Structure 1
Amino acid sequence: MFLLFTCMYSYQIFYMFVAFKAKQNKSSEIQNVLYHKYAVIIPARNEELVIGQLIKSIKNQKYPEELIDIFVVADNCTDDTAQVAKKAGAIVRERFNKIQIGKGYALDYILKIIENEYSSNKHDGYIVFDADNLLDENYITELNKTFNQGYRVITSYRNSKNYDQNWISAGYALWFLHEAEYLNLPRMVLNTSCAISGTGFLIQAELIEENGGWIHHLLTEDIEFSVSQIIKGEKIGYCRNAIFYDEQPVTFAQSWHQRLRWAKGFYQVFYKYGKDLIGNTFRGKRNKFSCFDMTMMVMPAVLISSVCIVVNGLFYLAIFLGIFDGQEITHAASVGILYSISWYYGVLYILGLITTLTEWGKIHCSGWKKIAYTITFPLFMLTYIPISVVALFKHVEWKPIAHTVVKSLDDVR
């Protein structure tokens, strides 16, 4: 299994060297920028505490105000989300549907409203955020520069507004920083395709029209969208200077339910698109490497890791039941389990440490916590093992995560 994983994921080590080099190169300033008109879309469910700060950060953008329209879909809300959003200056529509539940349905609902009711205000692109997000004041300006390079889908730099809250929120945040700078950045440099991740992304309006709206409704609609576009030959871009902040779960129960949905969603995506991804990897005419990259992303690698540990654990059970007898079997099982766990911990620790050191100035947290959370980061990631096993058998539905960290951009900094 060690050799298998080394072969399959060794290209990500190369990614890290590409990222190191890219970080040393200063990007040249783009002249004669063409300003596009954008619709900012915010699906929200019971987000009255945080949505006002997001809209404020959008209003404070250093970008022509007349070229930004803010749309909020208050999706099955039972609080004052709609009223707070209207007061803050957004165009709000309320949606009540207890059958079609999830972010994908809310996105499709508001996109159709924009198309039907605001066609005169022709938008060039849609920027999607979760209600708990906050934007750097240059976010849309920077995103617009990458849009001018010809990318029809663009993801951005995902930071955290509660990195310092505990080891769980830090675990999420550190992974998203790693994903941005050590997966998406090298993909961008190598001219392969990136992937959107939940929130903070731009889609060209024409692409949405071609798709017939937002048609992706698996539990991980973001990964489903990314994979479907890459199979079609689309290259998703990454704008590292477009920085936004989001809130991460802080309790293990919240984290368990959220990542259980993600794990189940990855299985769904692999089941639906795996054949095409693998086929395009070997026989495709476009995005062959990107299809391989996405296969490695959605393939249940954590589940394979789980199987390794379970198989070793079964030796203990066999010995306990008297099927096997002898110290050699016990020793082999013990070494196998310890080797697997220590190897994964070591690799994850190195990834977390490198990401922390290179992104040190962008992590809003005390120095000692930054170091401490590199130690707990592998533990956070290893909890994916039981999650991936449970997700394989358990029926999982979309459930909202309560957001309670009310901060302005100045508070975060």
Structure 2
Amino acid sequence: MLLLFALMYSYQIVYMFVAFKTKKSKKPLMENVHSSKYAIIIAARNEELVIGQLIKSIKNQKYPKELIDVFVVADNCTDDTAKIAEQAGAIVRERFDKSIIGKGYALDYMIKIIEREYSSRKYEGYFVFDADNLLDENYIEEMNKTFNQGYRVITSYRNSKNYDQNWISAGYALWFLHEAEYLNLPRMVLNTSCAISGTGFLVHVDLIKASGGWIHHLLTEDIEFSVSQIIKGEKIGYCRNAMFYDEQPVTFEQSWHQRLRWAKGFYQVFAKYGSSLLRNTFRGQHNRFSCFDMTMTIMPAMLISSISMMVNGSFYLVGFFDGKEIIHATTKVLLNSFGWYYGILFTVGFITTLTEWKKIHCSGWKKIAYTITFPFFMFTYIPISIVALFKKVEWKPIAHTVVKSLDDVR
């Protein structure tokens, strides 16, 4: 299994070398950049604690204020989210629908309101954020530069508000940093397609209009959107100079439920789009490598790993009845497998921590400690991937309680 995975994912080693080289080079400054008009959409459910800080960070952007409008859809809220968002300067609409729930439905609800009531403002793109996000003051300016390069979908650099809380929040944050700089950055450099990840992205209005709104409603609507666009031939861009921060879960219960939804969502996307991705990989006319890359992204690799370990475990049990030789051999295989997987994941975390050291807002000893615990965080995906295969999973909100300004995070 290790050799099989090494073959399937070997191209990501090339990604790492491309990322190293790109980080050392200086990108030339763009001139004559057109300042586009944007609508910022925030889907929020009971986010009264954090939404004010997000809107404040938007209002503090170094970008023409008249070209930014903030829209908040207070989705099935029972608190003062709508009131606080309106006081902060956002255009707010409340949505109450307990039968059709999920971020995708909330986004579609607000997009249709914008198209119906604010079409005269002629927005060129929609930004999408979660209520717990915070934006660097240059965020929109930098995203606009990439938008000017012709990209119609753009993702950005995802940092964390609470990296230093514990090994769980750090595990999330470290993976998102790796995803940004060692997956999306080399994809951008090699002119293949990146992928959006949950929040912090920009979409051209023409793509939304062509689809008839936001039509992606699987449990992982972000990767579904990415895959569907890549299959159609769209190349998703990445803006590494546009940094935003979000809050990560800190309890294992929260983390379990969230990643269970992600795992189930990846299965759903693979079931719906897997055949199209594979067909485009071998016989497509555009984005062939990107389709292969997305296949590797959504392929249930963790499930395959889990099955492999279960098979090895069954041999171990057989050894109790048929002799010590099987126990000895299986134990050696299991320990070797664990060692290799830990070593690979540690290397991924170590390299990411080292290169992003100054951008990780955390004490030095915690950065080192959480690099050591990062593989264990990733190992917890194994039981999650198995449970997600059989369990019915529904979208559930996660409470955000880290109330910080941009200065507090820094």
Partner of 1:58: 58
Q: Distance in 2 between matches of 1:197 and 1:111?
A: 20
The normalised TM-score by structure 2 is 0.99
Is this contact kept in 2: 1:309–1:336, CA < 8 A?
no
Tell me whether 1:250 sits opposite 2:247 in the alignment.
Answer: no
Q: Distance in 1 between matches of 2:381 and 2:21?
A: 31
Partner of 2:138: 138
Q: Secondary structure at the match of 1:104?
A: helix
Q: Distance in 2 between matches of 1:100 and 1:217?
A: 10
Partner of 1:298: 298
* Shift of residue 151, structure 1, vs aligned partner: 0.2
Partner of 1:376: 373
Q: Distance in 1 between matches of 2:347 and 2:337?
A: 16
Instruction: Tell me which of 332, 339, 343 is aligned to 1:342.
Output: 339
Q: Distance in 1 between matches of 2:338 and 2:58?
A: 44
Tell me whether 1:128 sits opposite 2:125 in the alignment.
Answer: no
Deviations 1:19-47 (A, max 9, x none): 00000111111111100000000000000
Partner of 1:367: 364
Deviations 1:338-369 (A, max 9, x none): 12211111000000000000000100000110
Q: Secondary structure at the match of 1:129?
A: strand
Q: Distance in 2 between matches of 1:16 and 1:244?
A: 23
Partner of 1:190: 190
Partner of 2:319: 319
Q: Distance in 1 between matches of 2:183 and 2:197?
A: 12
Partner of 1:103: 103
Tell me whether 1:400 sits opposite 2:389 in the alignment.
Answer: no
Partner of 1:409: 406
Tell me whether 1:358 sits opposite 2:355 in the alignment.
Answer: yes
Is this contact kept in 2: 1:184–1:195, CA < 8 A?
yes
Q: Which amino acid aligns with 1:247?
A: E
Q: How does 1:31-46 map to 2 (within 5 A)?
A: 31-46=31-46
Q: Which moved more, 1:102-111 or 1:308-317?
A: 308-317
Q: Which amino acid aligns with 1:329?
A: I
Q: Distance in 2 between matches of 1:354 and 1:319?
A: 39
Q: Which amino acid aligns with 1:382?
A: F
Instruction: Tell me which of 384, 388, 391 is aligned to 2:388.
Output: 391
Q: Distance in 1 between matches of 2:66 and 2:75?
A: 26
Q: How does 1:170-189 map to 2 (within 5 A)?
A: 170-189=170-189
Q: Distance in 2 between matches of 1:80 and 1:332?
A: 61
Deviations 1:184-236 (A, max 9, x none): 00000000000000000000001100111000000000000000000000000
Q: Distance in 1 between matches of 2:96 and 2:118?
A: 21
Q: Which amino acid aligns with 2:57?
A: S
Is this contact kept in 2: 1:281–1:292, CA < 8 A?
yes
Deviations 1:134-174 (A, max 9, x none): 00000000000000000000000000010001100000000
Q: How does 1:80-119 map to 2 (within 5 A)?
A: 80-119=80-119
Tell me whether 1:209 sits opposite 2:209 in the alignment.
Answer: yes
* Shift of residue 336, structure 1, vs aligned partner: 1.9
Q: Distance in 1 between matches of 2:332 and 2:306?
A: 16
Q: Secondary structure at the match of 2:121?
A: coil
* Shift of residue 318, structure 1, vs aligned partner: 2.5
Tell me whether 1:328 sits opposite 2:325 in the alignment.
Answer: yes
Deviations 1:369-405 (A, max 9, x none): 0011000000000100000000000000000000000
* Shift of residue 316, structure 1, vs aligned partner: 2.5
Q: Distance in 1 between matches of 2:267 and 2:338?
A: 23
Q: Which amino acid aligns with 1:378?
A: P
Q: Distance in 1 between matches of 2:178 and 2:3?
A: 24
Partner of 2:151: 151
**How many residue pairs were aligned?**
410
Partner of 1:9: 9
Identity fraction in percent: 80
Deviations 1:231-290 (A, max 9, x none): 000000000000000000000000000000000000000000000001100000100000
Q: Which moved more, 1:325-334 or 1:36-45?
A: 325-334
Q: Distance in 1 between matches of 2:338 and 2:253?
A: 23
Q: Secondary structure at the match of 2:71?
A: strand
Q: Which amino acid aligns with 1:362?
A: K
Partner of 2:223: 223
Q: Distance in 2 between matches of 1:363 and 1:169?
A: 12
Q: 4+ residue runs of structure 1 moved beyond 4 angstroms?
A: none
Q: Secondary structure at the match of 2:119?
A: coil
Q: Secondary structure at the match of 1:98?
A: coil
The normalised TM-score by structure 1 is 0.99
Partner of 1:310: 310
Q: Which amino acid aligns with 1:27?
A: K
Deviations 1:301-339 (A, max 9, x none): 00011011100111133234x3xx122211122122112
